Structure 1
Amino acid sequence: MALLLGLSGCGADVEIAVGRMNPASAVSGSGGEAGSGSGGEGGTTSCDVLPSPIHRYTFDGAGDVVADLIGGADGVILGGASLDGGGGLTLDGEDDYVDLPAGLLAGLSDVTVMGWVVRDGGGAYLRIVDFGISSRGEDPVEGEGGVGTSYLAITPSTGADVRGVSVLASDSGVTGEVAIHAEPTLDDGEVHQVAVVFDGAGATLALYLDGALLGSDSVGFPLSGIQDVNNWLGRSQFDADPYLGGRYDELRIYSEALVGCAIEAAWNAGPDRP
């Protein structure tokens, strides 16, 4: 049983399970320190009360349906993988992925996408999350050579000079892409929290790892510019990119741009698992 301690910070009292606190020890990119409360810092919510997500996937149960506990937007697991009955989903890195319903970002001007994952090797440009559409449209057939034309994606590693965890966002393919690259590659076999904040009012994009801000950048297009038709976990809009091998413990989508200390508090609390 975890020991809970009360921590006063960011204007709020937060309960933290001892042993779960594991902020990134070193970060790169623009931005500041974990939990500074400025959100990328561009976030719009406070840390007084962490808001409820609009979609929450805890990967409980068995079978091939990933239930949305809040928004009713259930997803389906494709490629032969299934829930393990212990609150997790493991993908094989060959053809497994989760297909979530289209339109998860529809009507939003701000969003925070937050997940707890374990990477299991693999090459560059794997996808933890990829919400968007490819040049081959909805549900493209593998091998047709499609490329992403609109997307909000998180990858644990890239082929860029800075090869670690990154967020990629565009409303017009690679030419219009905004990318934040960082050093950590998530190759340690441990559970990590990754979070992306798209702040429409501040026109910024921010990337967090384990509660720590890795970097932020300005965005010249609104969230509505991303056509989230193919909302995937483990698969890329770019057909040449490999599938993700690893485990998902939880995924949350908030309709707000969470501030840094709220993301840190969520990391400290950890994913809700049985």
Structure 2
Amino acid sequence: MNDAAAAYQIALVWKITGNTSYADKAVSILNGWASTLKGIGCNASSSWDFILMAGTQGYQFANAAEIMRSYSGFSASNLTAFQSWMRNVWYPICHGVLPNGLNIYANWDLGCIAQVMAIGVLTDNSTMFNEAVTYFKTGAGNGAAQQVAYYIHPGYYGQCQEAGRDQGHNTLDVSHLTVIAQQAWNQGVDLYGYSNNRILAISEHTSKGNLKDTSTNNFYTVPYIPYIYGSNYQYTFSNGSQGSNRPTWGCIYHHYVNVKGLVAPYTGKQLALQTPENGGQGCCSGGYDQLGFESLTCALDPISSDAAPSGLTAVFLNGKVLLSWWGSAYATSYVVQRGTASDGPYTTLASGNTDPRSYEDSGASGGTYYYIVRANSTSGPASNQVSITTGNPLIAYYKFDETSETSASDSSGNGHTATLSGNTSFVSARINNGVKLDGSSGYVSLPTTLLDQLGDFTIAAWVYVSSSSNWQRLFDFGFGTGRYMFFTTHSGNASAAFFITYNGGGDATQHLFIPNTTQSRLPLNTWTHIAITHLGTQTWLFLNGQIVNVNNYQYLHPYQIPGSTDLPAQYWIGRSQYSVDPYLNGIVDDFRIYAGCLPASAVQFLASMSG
């Protein structure tokens, strides 16, 4: 680790000063290691820790060599030998990790993403480079974009996967993300802006939580939801190593502020505390976990004019419209405006908003509303417009009253047509016709945008179970086996249940079971009405119009399930995200999704309906 840092730092000195004695020393270090190190591993007591070293020191060696490849003293044969060494000794370790994703903390993944990407650049291997980019966007491990930012709080504060562990590791996540994003940017790939600036969301949450408010001399409070990781239950933002100040904030700050014109106040405060910062140093591994010197390598002149507020989103949560947006570099405050027609006119709801960049509109009674946010004043530059309909609107409604088609129309009027796949048919059901699923290949696919604004919700349906198999689904809306919500007619403990998770099954899942009674699993060969309603942090499970269970601390919401803009959405009736789970054998009728929490009386009315 010392030599990887030394090679990089000496290479920088040569690049700046032109003094070839530094170049020769860097080349000596690189050639020495390439001709000596034949393999990387650990003894049994250290288990898999060598993967951490291979990721972090691997990308650092590759970056040092990338600087030196333009030096005549680093001969073509030297470069070829070094490239071969990186490709054959270093790359296989992280390549073996990436396709499957380790079920461990984010840094294991992130170091390997950075390493594979760096070696891809050094060896001019686009396949290798794209492997890293693709994994960051769609991977199954905790370093992929959708997992590393576990939860996005109002105002786009991104709770990192390791925020409840300790701040040494939490800030290291930012260090690794910086390397990944900057390496990709240098190759023309924008991961900084990926998935609505997800890396900035993490940086702002992490940097704020490790800064002290100068007015109180206490650390800032940041929002946090509990994170469950295997047997680790992390209920608060960890104060372990709080105040960590890694030399890692320069690239993120200058890109978002001075390239994109966004605001990054807490990232900027961290950078100001450290500039000019150092690089790898000290006695132990922590000092060498990042390259450092980012105020040197990434500094940019202040942007001449900032951007308008951007990335405005709206969801209906806890009975209110929740708005979040990205601020602009030179704005001092924000004005929130609402209209009842697209493009206005708008009425001002609030002004002087600063931190967080979010707003809750509790006055939007049933109807469709249009929102914008302006910088500084009512005539300042405006954000994108976003619209949302309140009043518990029906956003998808499948009567399944067709007779022979391969699709099912959406009777909500929103055009969310469903597609039938496998062995399905329309048969006489509870209310006119329903869709019959054969238990082996039949299922229904729903459009992939249904969860986008779904905070509070109601999902209701009639189901007739012909045979009961463990884990068969009434519905399963998700993005593979890591992010989903579903209702099963028969779970592992034999109860029918609702599940939702952002980070895999087991203890990372919030669930709500039908209590263990004679009807804990859905009965066979009879019609049963199921409804799940959710408001804020409360979820109710209804069976035939009656509440059978309540979760008063359901802090996961459907709109955050997507996580990444490249994950393929799989919104299914009758089929599981898990390929080994059985398909539903039965009939589904009158399937409804509402963007809001219906009162119990409305659910009781739905449960009383018949043909």
TM-score when normalising by structure 2: 0.33
What is the percent sequence identity of the aligned residues? 25
Post-superposition offset of 1:260 = 1.9
Post-superposition offset of 1:82 = 2.5
Asked which structure has the greater RCO (Cα within 8 Å, sep 6+), the reply is 1
* Mapping 1:125-164, distance limit 5 Å: 125-134=471-480, 148-160=481-493, 163-164=494-495
* Greater per-residue strand proportion: 1
Deviations 1:196-221 (CA, angstroms, capped at 9, x unpaired):
1122x2x1222111011111212233
Match for residue 522 of structure 2 among 182, 186, 190: 186
What runs of 5+ residues in structure 1 fail to find an aligned partner?
1-41, 135-147
Post-superposition offset of 1:67 = 0.8
Take 2:425 and 2:482, find their aligned partners in 1: how far apart are those partners?
30
Letter in 1 for 2:445: D
Post-superposition offset of 1:121 = 0.8
Match for residue 444 of structure 2 among 69, 94, 98: 98
Name whichever of 165-174 and 85-94 sits farther off.
85-94
Post-superposition offset of 1:51 = 5.3
What is aligned with 1:172? 503
* Mapping 1:15-164, distance limit 5 Å: 52-62=393-403, 63-70=405-412, 71-84=414-427, 87-134=433-480, 148-160=481-493, 163-164=494-495
Q: Secondary structure at the match of 2:471?
A: coil
Deviations 1:58-81 (CA, angstroms, capped at 9, x unpaired):
001122111111121011110131
Post-superposition offset of 1:44 = 5.5
CA gap 1:222/1:90 in 2 versus in 1, 3 angstroms: closer
What is aligned with 2:152? none
Larger radius of gyration: 2
How many residue pairs match? The answer is: 209
Letter in 2 for 1:153: F
Take 2:586 and 2:423, find their aligned partners in 1: how far apart are those partners?
14
Q: Secondary structure at the match of 1:250?
A: strand
Q: Is the contact made by 1:43 and 1:258 (CA closer than 8 Å) also made in structure 2?
A: no
Q: Which runs of 4+ in 1 moved over 4 A?
A: 42-45
Take 1:65 and 1:222, find their aligned partners in 2: how far apart are those partners?
28
What is aligned with 2:120? none
What is aligned with 2:561? 226
What is aligned with 1:252? 592
Letter in 2 for 1:84: V
Take 1:252 and 1:206, find their aligned partners in 2: how far apart are those partners?
16
What is aligned with 1:144? none
Q: Secondary structure at the match of 1:82?
A: strand
Deviations 1:170-210 (CA, angstroms, capped at 9, x unpaired):
111114201111232222311111011122x2x12221110
What is aligned with 2:257? none
What runs of 5+ residues in structure 2 fail to find an aligned partner?
1-316, 321-390, 563-567
Q: Is the contact made by 1:89 and 1:248 (CA closer than 8 Å) also made in structure 2?
A: yes
Match for residue 547 of structure 2 among 213, 221, 229: 213
Q: Secondary structure at the match of 1:88?
A: strand
Post-superposition offset of 1:108 = 2.1
Q: Secondary structure at the match of 1:195?
A: strand
What is aligned with 1:235? 575
Q: Is the contact made by 1:115 and 1:195 (CA closer than 8 Å) also made in structure 2?
A: yes
CA gap 1:107/1:43 in 2 versus in 1, 3 angstroms: closer
What is aligned with 1:140? none
